[in-house]
Amino acid sequence: MKYWLSFVLFFFALTAEGQYDCDSTVFISGKVTAENGRPMFDAMVVNRTRSVGQFCEPDGSYLIKACKGDTIQFAATGYISVRISFADSTWRPQYTANIQMKQLRISIPEVEVIAPRELQAIHDDIQTLGFNEKDYRVSEINAIQSPITFLYQAFSKRERSRREAIELRNNDRRRELLKELFGKYAEYDIIDLEDDEFDAFIDFMDPGDERLKRFSQYEFILYVKDRFAAYEKYGRSRSLDPSDHQYHLDDD
C-alpha cells in the first residue's frame, strides 16, 4: 500500500509538471477582494491556458503556478470576470496581482405593466359605440331653405370622405373592443380561439353597433358561444361569402 501511494503521488507530480511545458515557470500571488473590500474566498483563480484552477484562501489570497505567457482568470458567481497576463512584462520568478472584482449589474429596459380591464369596463365602452351621420352635419338643414348647403353635404366627395373616415374609426374601435372581450373569453375557456383568429371570428359574427349595445353581458356570452359553434362548423372549414357574415343586418 505504501509503495502504491508513492507511485500515485509520483504520477500526479509528473502530470502537473507536464502541464507547464515552457522555458521557465513563474508564481503569481495576491489577494482578491470585492468593491467593498470583502475578501473573495469564493473566487476561483483559473489558468485558462493550462485548464487548471483553485479557490482563494479564506482571506482572499491566492498563489498559482504558471508559465509567464499564460492567461489567468478570476471568477465568482455574480461578479464580472477578470483576466490578466504577464506575457509582455519583464521576466521575474514571482508576480503580484491584487484583484478587485466588480459586481455584475444587468440593465433591462423599463417595462410598463398595465392591469387587464374588467369585463364591465369593456361593456361600458361598447355602449359609447355608434355612428350617426346626422351628428357630423352642420345642422338639420332644410333642403328648401338652404338647397346649396344641403346639396353640398349630401353629395360633396369631401364631406362623404370625412363621414366615411369617422365611420371607419368607429368600426375599428368596435373590433378592438370585441378582441379585448374575446381575449377574456378565451382566458375563461368560453371560446377556444388564438389571438390570430380573432379578426376572422369577428368577420364571421360581428353583430354591429346597435345590436351589440342591446346585449347584456350574459346575453352576449350566449350569442358568442352560439356563433363560435357555427364558426367551428363552417367558418374554419370553408370560405364564406362576405354577405354570410352580416348578422347585424338580419331580422331579430
The pLDDT tens digits of the residues spanning 185-239 come to 888 888 888 888 888 888 888 888 888 888 888 888 888 888 888 888 876 655 4
Kindly list the domain boundaries of the chain, sorted by start residue: 22-101, 119-249
Q: So what's the pLDDT on residue 236? A: 63
> What is the C-alpha to C-alpha distance for residues 112 and 132, in angstroms, rounded to an integer?
37
For residue 134, pLDDT beyond 90: no
Q: Cα separations (Å) of 4 from 1, 85, 122, 241? A: 5, 39, 82, 90
For residue 4, pLDDT beyond 60: no
For residue 111, pLDDT beyond 70: no
Q: So what's the pLDDT on residue 35? A: 93
The DSSP-derived string for 2-48 is: HHHHHHHHHHHHHHHHHHT-SS-EEEEEEEEEETT--B-TT-EEEET
pLDDT band at 151 (very low <50, low <70, confident <90, very high): low
Q: What percent of the chain has pLDDT over 90?
A: 27
Cβ atoms of 184 and 191 within 8 Å: the answer is no
Cβ burial 64-81 (10 Å sphere, 16+ → b, else e): bebbbebebbbbbeebee
Cβ atoms of 248 and 206 within 8 Å: the answer is yes
The mean pLDDT value of the chain amounts to 76
Q: So what's the pLDDT on residue 39? A: 95
Q: Cα separations (Å) of 28 from 19, 70, 71, 101, 127? A: 16, 11, 11, 17, 77
> What is the C-alpha to C-alpha distance for residues 51 and 207, in angstroms, rounded to an integer?
71
Q: Which three cell numbers stand for residue 102?
A: 466588480
Q: So what's the pLDDT on residue 166? A: 75
Q: Which residue is it, cell 354591429?
A: 208
Q: What percent of the chain has pLDDT over 70?
A: 66
Mean pLDDT, residues 56-63: 94
> Who wins on pLDDT, 245 or 32?
32
Q: Which three cell numbers stand for residue 206?
A: 360581428
Q: So what's the pLDDT on residue 220? A: 85
Q: So what's the pLDDT on residue 157? A: 55
Q: Which three cell numbers stand for residue 219?
A: 346575453
For residue 9, pLDDT beyond 50: no
At 135, the amino acid letter reads: D
What CATH superfamily is the domain 22-101?
Answer: Carboxypeptidase-like, regulatory domain (2.60.40.1120)
> What is the C-alpha to C-alpha distance for residues 186 and 180, in angstroms, rounded to an integer?
10
Q: Among 213, 212, 184, 217, which residue's Cα sits nearest to residue 198? A: 184
pLDDT band at 77 (very low <50, low <70, confident <90, very high): confident
Q: Which three cell numbers stand for residue 201?
A: 371570428
